[in-house]
Structure 1
Amino acid sequence: MRQPAVAGQFYPLRPENLEKELKQCFEGLEIRERNVLGAICPHAGYVYSGKVAAHVYAALPKADTYVIFGPNHTGYGSPVSVSTDTWKTPLGSLEVDRELADGLSGSIIDLDELGHRYEHSIEVQLPFLQYRFDQDFMILPICLGMQDEETAVEVGNLVAELASKSGKKLAFIASSDFTHYEPANVAREIDNEVIGAILNLDIPGIYDKLYRRNASVCGYGPIAAMLTASKRLGANRAELLKYSNSGDVSGDTSAVVGYAAIIVE
């Protein structure tokens, strides 16, 4: 059982308080399922980025399995790892799609729990999925410590191939924040360039912007893996639903973190 690592920190520990906060995140949003194959969601504390993330989850369709790509912030575990443990949150337990996870055996993606044990980037997405869809789905959590373009594209292709063979309905979620600890105007300028490449579904362009602007986007590998998988399954457009930064909540615009909600159809 993979126990919650950041309940009580990034989001409330008590189920009733968590549901209340999630309800507030969705306030003013219409729940309208779209033909979303992939998405980018932030993974900061809900008070900062929850309302941004809710824009994606309000548009996300029901799927059999949600593949969640997250960056490895901790440095623990394999370079690229999939978890097969049951994941517990304050809202209940979620099963990993073992059929898909076992299908990754022998690839560059290791079956490894250590990379997931203390990592928050995937965990914070799960209560949003539970709030929208109860427990009626499975997950495939993939943590990327190696985020170079070649690795990310290979991971995306592997998962897309499995998805095609399985016949299941899948959706791919990349967990990523954008620019870290720059003044708000600088963060927005850098993020606009990176987001521009994302909206063009241009993976080499994303890496070029990251390099040229020295952009501190933490989940660029998950973004590239998600785009690769989504494109393989027919996605041909992306849309920015919401952009904000931590300063919009805290009032401190001198050093912010950027957050974007993006869907791929």
Structure 2
Amino acid sequence: MVSDRALKALKDYDVRDDDIWVTTYPKAGTHWAVEVVNLVLADGHEENIDRTKQPLPMEFDFHQPGSKMPDNIPRFPPENRIPQYEQGKSWPSPRVFMTHLPERMMPKQIYEGKGKVVFVLRNPKDIAVSMWHFLRPRKLNPKHEEWDTFFELYCTEKILNNSWFTFNLEFWNKHRDDKNFLFLKYEDMKRDLRTAVVQVADFLGRPLSDEAIDRVVDKTTLDSMKQRFNTADDNKSGKIGAQYIIRKGRVGDWKTQFTVAQNEAFDKLYREKMEGSDLQMDFKIKPQL
């Protein structure tokens, strides 16, 4: 799905000072955060968002001649088949990129202070369930088909994008104090979306009026995004429909899938991997203060 050519190009990508890179582990609320960013930049007016500038996570390069992808991966029209890292060079500022690139593969200029990164963290149990439901129908790996075999794979470094722990802790440990990084938690966004919108707006240097904040919040609820994204012409417009990116969006949905034994095993793994880290995740929504 990602070519060597794309990865090499991204490492030395020319980052603009006003670039915005929405970065997450898969199924951590990527499209949700991108929609918040887009609407903040548009003052809450969706009609001012150019969807054609964000058809796919920008490292994807699978529309090249001779590429082979499963039939159940959404296809895009010919004008969107140029690798997005190439398309992005001509986009007007501020550019918004969404990516699942691990820390070591992100453009080097970001770590020199160029651009801004909105990084979303989501608890690993809910991600496991969401990822399984996303991957299972795509049949990319026989181990994705049954929950038990997927769970075993998910607890290793052999899962897509490496383990949740490796991916997130590399960013958190190295960049949590960087001025051009904003770390948000999915669970906090679910608990208090308005505060998250204000955080994003302030971080981007785009403070909003109360009315604009209301517009952004109203359009970034789960129900609103499902209704607006799941349209017949999604692929024609460059949007990925809700049927591909939004399932439940709940905090604590892992309880519907994990067995008692699996939960105990994962808790043990979590304690081992997170030892010494000050990153704390919520596996249920805490009451709003």
The TM-score, its normalising length taken from structure 1, stands at: 0.31
Q: Considering fraction of residues, name the structure with more helix.
A: 2
Higher-Rg member (1/2): 2
TM-score of the two chains, using structure 2 as the length reference: 0.29
